Chains A and B, each alone.
Chain A
Amino acid sequence: MQRIVDALLFPLLAVVSAFLVGAVIVLLVGDNPIRVYEIFFASAFGTVDGISYTLFYATPLICTGLAVAIAFRCGLLNIGAEGQLIIAAFAAAWVGFTLDTSKWLVIPLCMIAAIVAGGIWGGIPGLLKARFGSHEVINTIMMNFIAVGIVSYFTQYYYRLPGDPILQTKPIVEQAHIPRMNAILAPLGIDFPAWLPLNLGFVIAIIACVVVYVFLWKTKWGYELRAVGVNPSAAEYGGINVSRSIVIAMCLSGALAGLVGINEVLGYRYRYYDGFSAGYGFTGIAVALLGRNHPLGIFLAAILFGSLVRGGLFINIFSDRVSKDLVVVLQAIIILFVACEAFFSFLQKPSTGGKS
């Protein structure tokens, strides 16, 4: 318990500090920070609608946060979650509009397609790193461009409905739709508004958090992967196949990013829509950083970032002078504060390791 409190302390301080700096900025543009934050919290957390939108916006960030974290635990920086989730979403859509069979078959196949496609897209830079030592940061960035290009091309020239002015594929079959929260909660006797887009994807993201936690800390493979991340030389000395761990970590990372495709395609838009990702892959890096590369932290951090999206929209509409750009500023400041953790280190006790 003490450990959890300790781990949460710095990220929490970073968030609070960011909100304080944000308040100063609001004052500078001539608005009332208390009122702005009131709008923010009321819209993001004040109602069932608000909370469920916040959670809906958080869902892709949980997935990409986990993706970045699992790679990071193996000592790798996956900047390519964006490309991985784009490829995955397209793969899910392709299966969804190509296979017209029972939902018991098509939904699992769509999900597998998303996971496998993301996994392959992440695994390629992993393989390049393990085999040739080429740096995964460069390669994952480049793979992003390739993913965007390929998917846009196929959407534009092969899978767009004739006459559709929007760059998107044809819709997936009805059976491939995954249930929204209202359908999931109805059997439990909970009346959840049907118009809300929160869907099974969110449940899958929570399950992913648990699975990642168990994998990393309770299994041999997770141990090996973390050992490589902490000290590759020692891992090698301990008989761990470092190259294989790198490939596995990148595949898993891509697969987790691919889960975004499930939420987006099977649960929300029911088609591949070009440019659907609001930089989820990149925000995922911030989420992982704020969440300290731990599933629980990532879950909380993703909800915070989700609330920033939701609250930002409302601040934009209902405040006098503050636009939603302030939200972007807040995000950036949070990340800056998290990144310079040493700033808060004066709060830390001078003890060196060991718990008493």
Chain B
Amino acid sequence: MNENVEYAVEMRNITKCFGSLTANDKVSLKVRKGSIHAIVGENGAGKSTIMNVLYGFYRADEGEILINNQPSKINSTHDAIALGLGMVHQHFMLAGALSVTENIILGSEPTSGPMIDYKAAKEKIKSISSQYGLQVNPEKIVENLSVGEEQRVEILKTLYRGAKILILDEPTAVLTPQETEEFFTILRALKNQGKTIIIITHKLAEVLAISEKVTVMRLGKVVGEVETKNTSAEELAKLMVGREVLLRIDKSQYGKPREENILSIKNLSLSDTYGANLLSDISFDIKAGEVFGIAGVEGNGQTELVEVLSGLRPPSTGTIALQGQDITACNSRQAKELHIGHIPEDRHKRGLLLNSPLTENAILGLQNNTKLVGWPLLKENQITSHTKKLIQEFDVRPPDPDIAVRGLSGGNQQKLIIAREFSIAPKFLIASQPTRGVDIGAIEFIYKKILELKASGAAVLLVSAELDEVFSLSDRVAVLYEGKIVGIVEPEKISQQEIGLMMTGGKKSQTSKT
């Protein structure tokens, strides 16, 4: 490679340990000035850690960092900002009640005398936003912004402080396809004006679309550094997981939906205590052997729909029927007894007793099953063997029924939940964000299990924020927007772009004002 290439960031042999865990093991990284550099890897691969070291959140135990070819000590985020680094976190750090301007200048307020010089601040923000095409109204209150706009505010915040190197942690996780494209346009504009961008992501398609170079991490080490134009999604996935991964699931081999309706929902509505509609007039059927997907931007009624269907919350009006039997009034216990499985969207909030052992988690929801629970005592041997069976069938690691679930990785926790829900032989499975925070290897496994369940004649409701997931698994997809179904489509007959449009209400996407 050309010797006089300028590197904006160079990290040499960075090692960072947390107790006995080595999060980064001699990680080296070179980012060319004015390029877009992607870092990919599974959960726990150490990609966030290395960026937090760069941004001064953590101090490396070993190794050195060069910024613009100068050895640099970064002991705090202050140092990092002074060196021209800026970081946008996956979860935005904005004060919702304040205006865009106030958020951007927070911590580096321009003053005239004792007063904040809002006029100067606004001028500066306007000039930055027009320079990079980051359109946002500086007067607006942040909580009224769309997610895409919030992200632009975050980027503006870093640019306002003079950042020349931007670190973006999973920036597209919360965006619709349209918003993602606009976001990429912005990234390219930034790059063309000389900024260096480091983007952490796990979406391989985006890596291929936007980056010039990719660093792949696995288990705290760099396992590959490739030029984007010389690689493919398959190769990257293989590097990330360490083995061949099936990226495209062929759902056709799991059969077509049958004639019989398993679930029928009619005119389902739900309003909150103030009378606002959370769900309005939702009707659909799911057939035996069908995966019915729900697409939509998060917060458009998905959570509520799942709560209603799983018996956690009664609907305001409408009916739910399972194989013709009215189950509208069933609570979550009765739903379980009717073989309705539920993989909850937030496994820590709903799905698990984190500090309890695997055994107690394996019987959550099954505590009325007389095979496991006698009178008056629990049947401990049966519970242990039931747990071991779940562990074995779903390859949960470590395979110890007595350790606390907290000690398991996200993927293994999710596998335990899925194993438990599958153990009731579900006729109807509600799978809400089944692969959230799960690594690629486990995702493949979970997809296969869901499709096997479908093939066995169960009905599956799949709710996911990952459009790819909904597309590749579902036989039909309903798009939810503001609590209403705006359309039910077959994924083969529609593009992701069109779905994306429907996700924002079929109107022009909010972010396309630019």
Residues of chain A at the chain B interface (Cβ within 8 Å): 214, 218-221, 223-224, 226-227, 230-231, 233-241, 350-355
Contact = CB atoms under 8 A, between A and B. Distances in A.
A356 to B, nearest CB: 10
B411 interface: no
Contacts of B398: 354
Name, among B364, B402, B406, B407, the residue most crowded by chain A CB atoms within 10 Å (CB to CB).
Answer: B364
Nearest to B334: A239
Given A350-B19, A354-B398, A355-B403, A234 B377 contact: no
B416 to A, nearest CB: 13
Given A227-B360, A231-B353, A239-B365, 7 more contacts: A220-B368, A233-B350, A236-B312, A236-B332, A238-B332, A351-B20, A353-B406
B407 A353 contact: yes
Interface string B327-366: 0000111111000001010000111111110001001110
B403 A237 contact: no
Contacts of A355: 400, 402-403
B376 interface: yes
A351 B404 CA distance: 13
B377 A350 contact: no
Contacts of B360: 223, 226-227
A122 B219 CA distance: 52
Nearest to A223: B367
Contacts of B377: 214, 218-219
Interface string B391-415: 0000000101011101100000000
Given A220-B373, A350-B19, A239 B406 contact: no
B120 interface: no
A352 B403 contact: no
Given A350-B20, A352-B407, A353-B404, A234 B353 contact: yes
Nearest to A229: B353
A269 B404 CA distance: 47
A223 B363 contact: yes
A351 B332 CA distance: 37
B378 interface: yes
18 contacts: A220-B367, A221-B376, A223-B363, A223-B367, A223-B378, A224-B367, A231-B352, A234-B351, A237-B332, A237-B342, A239-B331, A239-B334, A351-B19, A353-B403, A353-B407, A354-B407, A355-B402, A355-B403
Contacts of B354: 230-231
Contacts of B342: 237
Contacts of B400: 354-355
B403 A227 contact: no
B378 A218 contact: yes
A237 B353 contact: no
A169 B310 CA distance: 56
B115 interface: no
Given A234-B353, A238-B332, A238-B367, A352 B344 contact: no
